[in-house]
A = this chain, B = another copy of it.
Amino acid sequence: MQNPVRQSSHQITLLSDFGLKDVYVGVMKGVIAQITPNVPVIDLTHQIPPQNVLAGRFALLNAYPYFPRPTVHIAVVDPGVGSQRRAVAVEFPQGVVVAPDNGLVSGICQFESPLAAVELNNPDYWRTLSPSRTFHGRDIFSPVGAYLATGVPLQEVGTSIDPQTLVKLDLAPVTETAEGIRGTVQYIDYFGNVITNIPAACLTGKSWSVELPQQTLPQSETYSDRTPGHPVALIGSHGWLEIAVNEGNAATQLNLTYNSSVLVRW
């Protein structure tokens, strides 16, 4: 069987909470270009809310399936940078994720078993022997990711660790009762669409509605099922129950936020 990590990668993706105001992301791309100028670098997003590992976990989980293997994903939402948290590379069937070990990768782990994981402790693949205490994205994650994209084996860039020891960051579980399902808001997108952690599979083939404190939202199929300004509940493109307002902002209008509880009734 071929070892997917030894192949060179078709592309590198970047995900961070660095924003686009500064040159942090550009600098990471410069560091990558020094190592592998011909691998395209694709931005997943750099506007994860600062240090919101939960949002980063969701974003990475939702982008991962759409990239051809082998892709290297460099993900940096890293409130613990410079502390003792580990830096890791985790190999999955479709690609490798390079990230701090703070739960960022745990979303993908819910759906796919890691094939292998290493702690990034081989400074030969860092940008410098004295990495900045505050910018491992530049000094560790980007160069390691770039070297992995050139085909350097995973085991070269650090010591193998048990994938079971990776930090987990899990949401409040979805609970099913006789009357319905209770879940949690796991992400609010740019449009203000509210994405819960209730998977489509729990709802398909059934008839349901979403009960909010102020109102009940009937099951819809598309944003335009209702007139502009009115909320809809539907299976979103991510595959989870989603609450949206046609041409509006559901989070603001319905006063929903991260970790809000959402009740679906049969």
Contacts and interface: CB of A to CB of B under 8 A. Distances in A.
A135 B62 CA distance: 13
Interface string A18-50: 111111111101110110010011111111001
Identical copies in the complex: 3
Given A21-B190, A42-B33, A190-B22, A224 B62 contact: no
B224 A138 contact: no
B223 A82 contact: yes
Interface residues of A, number: 66
B83 A222 contact: yes
Interface stretch (A63-71, A108-116, A155-163): A63-71
Contacts of A191: 19, 50
Contacts of A139: 237
A118 to B, nearest CB: 23
A224 B44 CA distance: 26
A33 B11 contact: yes
A26 B190 CA distance: 14
Contacts of A40: 33, 37, 40
Nearest to A45: B23
A237 B138 contact: yes
A62 to B, nearest CB: 6
B18 A190 contact: yes
A85 B59 CA distance: 29
B135 A237 contact: yes
Contacts of A4: none
A134 B45 contact: no
Interface string A219-245: 001111100100000111100001010
A42 to B, nearest CB: 5
25 contacts: A11-B37, A15-B26, A21-B189, A21-B190, A22-B45, A22-B189, A23-B45, A23-B59, A24-B189, A24-B190, A26-B43, A27-B62, A31-B66, A33-B40, A37-B40, A40-B40, A50-B247, A51-B247, A82-B223, A83-B222, A132-B236, A134-B222, A134-B237, A134-B244, A138-B237
Given A23-B59, A34-B68, A132-B236, 4 more contacts: A20-B45, A79-B228, A83-B222, A133-B222
Interface of A: 10-11, 13, 15, 18-27, 29-31, 33-34, 37, 40-47, 50-51, 59-60, 62-63, 66-68, 71, 79-83, 132-135, 138-139, 189-191, 221-225, 228, 234-237, 242, 244, 246-247
| 7 tightest Cβ-Cβ pairs between the two chains A and B | A82-B222, A135-B237, A19-B190, A30-B66, A26-B44, A132-B237, A21-B190
